Chain A
Amino acid sequence: QKEVEQDPGPLSVPEGAIVSLNCTYSNSAFQYFMWYRQYSRKGPELLMYTYSSGNKEDGRFTAQVDKSSKYISLFIRDSQPSDSATYLCAMSAGGSYIPTFGRGTSLIVHP
């Protein structure tokens, strides 16, 4: 079992839909949780960064962390074609610089 599991998709939704992206993990030491967006042939761009459990909202994006279930989510409201990209979850333990990445979910938002 991998430390971080993420469905690669692709996930195809119509414009305006609410998108739910998820990751599960097995390492209970993870405390910091990140979501990155990666466009084709570009580096990952940090979208959301949360510590421990709870919700964090930034514009159309909401990150949720449920440490008891070892499950994190990223919700995108009013999705746009420009949101089409690969979304990578990442997480790290408190003492480490180096996160463990999921393999990414490819999202396609069609007009």
Chain B
Amino acid sequence: GAVVSQHPSWVICKSGTSVKIECRSLDFQATTMFWYRQFPKQSLMLMATSNEGSKATYEQGVEKDKFLINHASLTLSTLTVTSAHPEDSSFYICSAGGQGRSQPQHFGDGTRLSIL
């Protein structure tokens, strides 16, 4: 199956730090990638859709200036949490779709972000 790699898997940092998370599709080209946030025992909450070569589309309530998304190539999307605060602590997961709209998403292993 499709492989999506996400790095780092766990980050602990001080309040006010900016943190970058990388998401790579390893065996297919992904024109679209997705970023989710997941709280304990909750489902996935879509934050934004990352489009290669253009601006990301953010879901309602997600701060664009807080969560910067860059999708510079067909295999790499990055999420930068700027000036992170404790309330940004969460599990962030990226996914990439396969070829065509009917293909399911494949997920990375997630990044656990802890802000002290």
Chain A contact residues, CB within 8 Å of chain B: 8, 32, 34, 36, 41-46, 49, 51, 88, 90, 94-99, 101-104, 106
Contact = CB atoms under 8 A, between A and B. Distances in A.
Given A46-B104, A96-B101, A8 B110 contact: no
B112 A49 contact: no
The prevalent SS among residues of A at the interface is loop
Given A44-B93, A88-B44, A101-B43, A32 B34 contact: no
Interface of B: 1, 4, 6, 32, 34, 41-44, 46, 49, 91, 93, 95, 97, 101-102, 104-110, 112
Contacts, number: 54
A49 B108 contact: no
Nearest to A96: B101
Contacts of A43: 4, 6, 93, 95, 107-110
Contacts of B104: 32, 34, 46, 49, 90, 99
Given A43-B108, A45-B107, A46-B1, A98 B49 contact: yes
Contact of A42 (B1, B32, B109): B109
Given A97-B34, A99-B105, A101-B43, 13 more contacts: A34-B104, A43-B95, A43-B107, A43-B108, A44-B93, A45-B107, A46-B104, A49-B104, A94-B101, A96-B101, A97-B105, A98-B46, A102-B43
A49 B102 CA distance: 10
A104 B46 CA distance: 15
20 contacts: A8-B41, A36-B107, A42-B109, A42-B110, A43-B107, A43-B109, A43-B110, A44-B44, A44-B93, A46-B104, A46-B107, A51-B102, A88-B44, A90-B104, A97-B97, A98-B34, A98-B49, A101-B44, A103-B42, A106-B41
Contacts of B109: 42-43
Contacts of B49: 97-98
A49 to B, nearest CB: 5
Given A43-B107, A96-B101, A103 B43 contact: yes
A94 B46 CA distance: 19
A46 B106 contact: yes
